Amino acid sequence: MVIGCREQVSDSDVSPDQGTLASVRGGIFSSEKQRFGLDTLATGLTNPWGLAFLPDGRVLVTERGGEIRVIQNNRLTADRIQNVPTVYRNGQGGLLDIQLHPDYGNNGWIYFSYSKAGNGGGGTALGRAKLQGTAFIQVQELFVGQPFSTSGQHFGSRIAFDDAGYVYISTGDRGNPANAQNLNNHWGKVIRLHDDGRVPSDNPFVGTANARPEIWSYGHRNVQGMVFDAGANILWAHEHGPQGGDEINRVERGKNYGWPTITFGINYDGTPITGETQRAGMEQPVRQWTPSIAPCGVTMVTSARYPNWRGNLLVGALALRHVARVEVDGNGTYLREERLLNNYARFRYVAQSPDGYIHVATESPGLVVRLVPAD
């Protein structure tokens, strides 16, 4: 089987005459339901991956190479956060997502996912720390996926909190599809933990022989977008397919999402992976994209600043260079979608800040941009 990934494109693959977000600052975009402009907050970033919004107005930006940059007063500063754990830099590995604890105002915890080196290669890890000035203190390692692998593919990884005190971290299959169906490893899974890293006693595979107790769901290929919809009590996730078959899923307790037994995608050489797109006991995606858009980053719009987008999922697309505005109903059923900012950049992350603005992080070029409603 040929395994590959459409997630990564080198800067040389992006033609210099194509439009970039930096060049359209001040322009107004008309979508089907919302007009908006763009405000570029940071340029010159290298593989920005995640954003976290501090109460004092600063924005932390992870770069996959291992740095955490700081945006303050709507500009990128020279600050780098100190005492960030060393990352395993291999292919798609590095410093990945970053999120504040929902009760950050009281406990001060900042969570981050990264690839960690160890015996046999590296794997996806979850850590947390507190911020003192521009340095991490009280750095704690909460979870490290096993077993380690020398593969540079499919680390995941996004972090999400629900409203019951649990934290979720996504992983990828590490370039070995069989991992996703094997409960004896952490790869191709969504992991559920208490916020201090303990394993919840009601996780679905606690007490199951030869199963990792941290697993919440399995059968995922490479989940790089995850958000919790508190109103509908849905954990949304999207994942990269191979050549086709990118998915949006409702992630639920103990369920099997099928990779690689069922998929709408094919190998990169055009050969089939499987003849099946459905099987009893395996979940169907809410939405699948063929050809692949290479989804990365997702948020649900709850802000009153975008009244006609409320309840929509916004999904970044790397390969097809747009933001997908995905309409779902209150039961989590896919309705339709629209492409925003088509062909402007490789969209790595989408987030809604506490003040209600949608922010996107892009690579090739490396930017952070805010969408400003024009209506």
Catalytic residues: 154
List Cα–Cα distances, 302 to 163, 310, 338, in angstroms.
15, 5, 18
DSSP secondary structure string, 301-366?
Answer: ---TTSTTTTTEEEEEETTTTEEEEEEE-TTS-EEEEEEESTTS-EEEEEEE-TTS-EEEEEETTT
HSE, side-chain direction, 13 A CA sphere, residue 67: 12
Q: Which residues contact 263 (CB under 8 A, 6 or more apart)?
A: 221, 241, 242, 245, 273, 274, 277
| Phi and psi, residue 12, nearest 5° | -70, -15
| Phi and psi, residue 242, nearest 5° | -80, -115
Residue 295 DSSP one-character state:
E
User: Is the preceding omega at residue 272 within 30 degrees of 0, hence cis?
Assistant: no
**Side chain identity, residue 324:** A
Give, in degrees to the nearest 5, the angle at Cα 186 between 50 and 209.
155
Helix/strand/coil for 104? helix
